[in-house]
Amino acid sequence: MIQAEELTKEYRHLTAVKQLSFTAEAGRVTGFLGPNGAGKTTTISMVLGLAEPDGGQALVAGQPYRRLDNPATAVGAVLDGGAFHDGRPARASLRASCAAAGLPASRADDVLGTVGLGDAPDRRVGKYSLGMRQRLSLAQALLGDPGVLILDEPANGLDPEGIVWLRQMLRRLAHEEGKTVFVSSHILAEVQATVDTAVVIAEGQLVSEFEVGELAGGRTVIARAKQADRLAEAVERGGGKAVRSGEELSITGLDSDRVGEIALEAGVALSALGAQHQDLEQRYMELTAGKGR
Amino acid sequence: MGRQIAAEWIKARSLRSTWVLVGIAVLGMVAQALTGVIGYPGESDRAQTLAVMSGSGLTLVVVTIVGVFLAASEYGSKSIVSTYTVTANRGRVIIAKAVVAVAIAAAIGLLSVPLARLVAVIWFALGGAGHWDAGLGTAAHYGYGTMIAYGGFAVVGVAIGVLSRSIAIGVAVAFVGLFILDALLGSVSFYSEYAFTSAAEALNNPDVHQGGLPRFGSAIALMALYAGLLAAIGVGVERRRDV
């Protein structure tokens, strides 16, 4: 599990992250979303002990990262499109991490095979394509078979086949092996297909935390009526939520059949009634509108 | 700690640049030995032999660069992120880098005397002037003096690499700081016995007693003090910095 509690990071003229709190649960894929400059990478850096918070704390498996006994066996991280020296062979890069974590050197070959790089282990990382570097990063993250995986834009550079492979692997690791998977990404369609919970931040602050599965069943009902005010009041009394724009109401919390019944009971004539699916992209755009830095 | 040292050794040996630098360092020692045999016609055999065996200034520069390189290249490539996510204790990582740098530098230093002897043998076999005039004790003295000098400079290189986080800046700082500023300060009479480069010179030429240089034992202590102090500063600063 990852817990961020009132995390704050300030630079000279900028508060990059401000009192950010969220939880990424074990057995679930948690998406970490936000516009450019929202503070995602800074937050991940603080979670991984690479940056010191100015306030609050981040706990991984119940402890601050720097206090973990052998971090590689607790947390695997994919950051920055692969943090490897271009001149070093991939296998040697992983073997160095194996040595530091007290893992057998053969583990490097195991994970290279897992990510599909088993046929190019001694090629220098500089000769790898972006997609291969991403796979190598994932191999590095999997070395210690950690319970927590933190991935910053892991789909960058992957081809469509690689993206499907990544999605399936992340979901398997979370749902079948019970790992905590925390992934930041800009590819919202991919996030929707992969994650269970979304944590959305903007300007360094939490904007929303919600279940992505609810979006699939979640609809917005659009109703049009000359007496929109009266209909809005009736909808609110009926347990829904209505946002008015002229004669049009966007209603959530009720389905279109129930909205039709409420309109009839209230004696409001409808000129239009329909349902609109809400997807992650739409929700994200609503939440972060005008909040990019 | 052993795990981190093993990891740093794998990193060092898996890069071509490490071996290129080691090669240049060895060439520096060969050049020093050649200068010794060729540059002392008419001097005593003893003076010639000691000149051949003395540690190389060029190699001191190169082992410093090896240290800078082992530390700073991690920041340029961002592989430091992988290093610190696997080993969160930054002090251990830096000490492990210093240990590996010392091991490489000491191994180069260990070659110094045998290489000097080989160059001398070839020189004399080709009819060059002079005669080898050093016993095993003197040779050993030169051997470990050179190893300590190279090791100390390698640790300072690691510390400078950590503090600068850039190979180019690290090399520039090392060169200006150690080989210009410290050498200039070494020419000031009251400081000359305490200069880092004076300590290296005393270790590289332990049996050549020059005025203004510390004695052999003092040179070892000075070398350890300066290298340890800079390494401690590097660890202290790095622990507080963001990556």
Query: Using CA atoms, how far apart are residues A206 and A209, in angstroms rounded to an integer?
Result: 8
Question: Do A151 and A262 reside in the same domain of the chain?
Answer: no
Residue appearing with tokens 């724009």: A245
Select the residue of A50, A84, A85 nearest B242 (Cβ to Cβ): A50
Sheet with A197-202, strands from edge to edge, namely: A75-78, A148-152, A180-184, A29-33, A197-202, A205-211
Question: Do A268 and A203 reside in the same domain of the chain?
Answer: no
Query: Using CA atoms, how far apart are residues B23 and B99, in angstroms rounded to an integer?
Result: 20
Beta strands A29-33; A180-184: pairing state: parallel
| Domain residue spans of chain B | 2-240
Q: B65 and B21 in contact (C-beta within 8 Å)?
A: yes
- The arithmetic mean of pLDDT across residues B69-76, rounded, is 92
**Residues of A in Cβ contact (< 8 Å) with B79:** 83-85, 88, 93
Cβ of residue B193 closer than 8 Å to a chain A Cβ: no
Query: Using CA atoms, how far apart are residues B233 and A227, in angstroms rounded to an integer?
Result: 74
| CATH at A100 | 3.40.50.300
Select the residue of B10, B17, B79 nearest A84 (Cβ to Cβ): B79
Question: Do A153 and A237 reside in the same domain of the chain?
Answer: no
Whether the pLDDT of residue A293 is over 70: the answer is no
Distance set, CA A155 to CA A33, A288, B173 (Å): 14, 22, 40
The band of A292, judged by pLDDT with boundaries at 50, 70 and 90, is low
% of residues, chain A, pLDDT over 90: 37
Question: Do A40 and A102 reside in the same domain of the chain?
Answer: yes
Q: B233 and B158 in contact (C-beta within 8 Å)?
A: no
Whether the pLDDT of residue A216 is over 60: the answer is no
| CATH at A239 | 3.30.70.100
Cβ of residue B4 closer than 8 Å to a chain A Cβ: yes
Is position A285 within any domain?
Answer: no
Best interface-test mutation with A: which of B3, B4, B8, B10 has the largest number of A CBs within 10 A?
B10
**Residues of B in Cβ contact (< 8 Å) with A71:** 85-88
Which amino acid, residue B66? V
Is position A54 within any domain?
Answer: yes
Select the residue of A66, A80, A87 nearest B16 (Cβ to Cβ): A87
Distance from CA of A232 to the nearest CA of B (A): 52
The pLDDT score that the predictor gives to residue A110 is: 93
The band of B83, judged by pLDDT with boundaries at 50, 70 and 90, is very high
The pLDDT score that the predictor gives to residue A82 is: 67
Cβ of residue B82 closer than 8 Å to a chain A Cβ: yes
Q: B113 and B177 in contact (C-beta within 8 Å)?
A: no
Q: Do B73 and A80 touch (CB under 8 A)?
A: no
In 3D space, the residue among A96, A68, A70, A79 whose CA is nearest the CA of residue A44 turns out to be A79
Question: Do A206 and A245 reside in the same domain of the chain?
Answer: no
**Residues of B in Cβ contact (< 8 Å) with A95:** 10
Query: Using CA atoms, how far apart are residues A214 and A198, in angstroms rounded to an integer?
Result: 11
The pLDDT score that the predictor gives to residue A46 is: 93
Query: Using CA atoms, how far apart are residues A159 and B19, in angstroms rounded to an integer?
Result: 37
The pLDDT score that the predictor gives to residue A214 is: 66
Query: Using CA atoms, how far apart are residues A223 and A272, in angstroms rounded to an integer?
Result: 6
Residue appearing with tokens 């992250």: A17
Residue appearing with tokens 């929202």: A38
| Tens-digit pLDDT profile for residues A85-132 | 899 999 999 999 999 999 999 999 999 998 888 888 889 989 988 888
Query: Using CA atoms, how far apart are residues B102 and B149, in angstroms rounded to an integer?
Result: 10
Question: Do A117 and A50 reside in the same domain of the chain?
Answer: yes
Q: A236 and A244 in contact (C-beta within 8 Å)?
A: no
Residue A59 CB contacts under 8 Å (≥ 6 apart), including other chains: A1, A2, A3, A5
Whether the pLDDT of residue B203 is over 90: the answer is no
Question: Do A199 and A239 reside in the same domain of the chain?
Answer: no
% of residues, chain B, pLDDT over 90: 43
Residue A122 CB contacts under 8 Å (≥ 6 apart), including other chains: A89, A90, A91
Question: Do A158 and A270 reside in the same domain of the chain?
Answer: no
Residue A56 token pair: 């609050």
Residue appearing with tokens 């300030």: A10
Question: Do A191 and A147 reside in the same domain of the chain?
Answer: yes
In 3D space, the residue among A74, A72, A117 whose CA is nearest the CA of residue B82 turns out to be A72
The pLDDT score that the predictor gives to residue B66 is: 94
Is position A283 within any domain?
Answer: no
Q: How many A-B residue pairs are in contact by the CB < 8 A criterion?
A: 89
The pLDDT score that the predictor gives to residue A230 is: 92
The band of B217, judged by pLDDT with boundaries at 50, 70 and 90, is confident
Half-sphere exposure of A91 (CA within 13 A, CB side): 13
Cβ of residue B238 closer than 8 Å to a chain A Cβ: no
| Tens-digit pLDDT profile for residues A32-68 | 988 888 888 899 999 999 999 999 999 998 899 988 8
**Residues of A in Cβ contact (< 8 Å) with B11:** 85, 88, 92, 96
Interface of B with A in 7-66 (CB under 8 A): 7-8, 10-11, 14-17
The pLDDT score that the predictor gives to residue B21 is: 94
Q: Do B11 and A92 touch (CB under 8 A)?
A: yes
Q: Do A45 and B86 touch (CB under 8 A)?
A: no
Is position A286 within any domain?
Answer: no
- The arithmetic mean of pLDDT across residues A159-175, rounded, is 86
Cβ of residue A96 closer than 8 Å to a chain B Cβ: yes
Question: Do A45 and A188 reside in the same domain of the chain?
Answer: yes
Question: Average per-residue pLDDT in chain A?
Answer: 86
Strand partners, A77: A150
Whether the pLDDT of residue B135 is over 70: the answer is yes
**A7-21, A159-173, A216-230, B156-170, range with greatest mean pLDDT:** B156-170
The band of B224, judged by pLDDT with boundaries at 50, 70 and 90, is very high
Residue B114 token pair: 């045998």
Cβ of residue A68 closer than 8 Å to a chain B Cβ: yes
Is position A153 within any domain?
Answer: yes
ipTM of the complex: 0.85
Q: Do A96 and B73 touch (CB under 8 A)?
A: no
Question: Do A121 and A256 reside in the same domain of the chain?
Answer: no
* Domain count of the fold of chain A: 2
Interface of A with B in 191-220 (CB under 8 A): none
Q: What phi and psi, each to the nearest 5 degrees, are found at residue B25?
A: -60, -40
Whether the pLDDT of residue B167 is over 80: the answer is yes
Residue A170 CB contacts under 8 Å (≥ 6 apart), including other chains: A29, A149, A151, A154, A181, A183, A194
Residue B225 CB contacts under 8 Å (≥ 6 apart), including other chains: none
- The arithmetic mean of pLDDT across residues B145-150, rounded, is 91
**Residues of A in Cβ contact (< 8 Å) with B83:** 100
Q: Do B84 and A50 touch (CB under 8 A)?
A: yes
In this structure, the number of other CB atoms found within 10 A of the CB of residue A15 comes to 16
Question: Do A228 and A243 reside in the same domain of the chain?
Answer: yes
Q: Do A71 and B88 touch (CB under 8 A)?
A: yes
Q: Note down the domain range covering A226.
A: 219-277
Residue B52 token pair: 């051949």
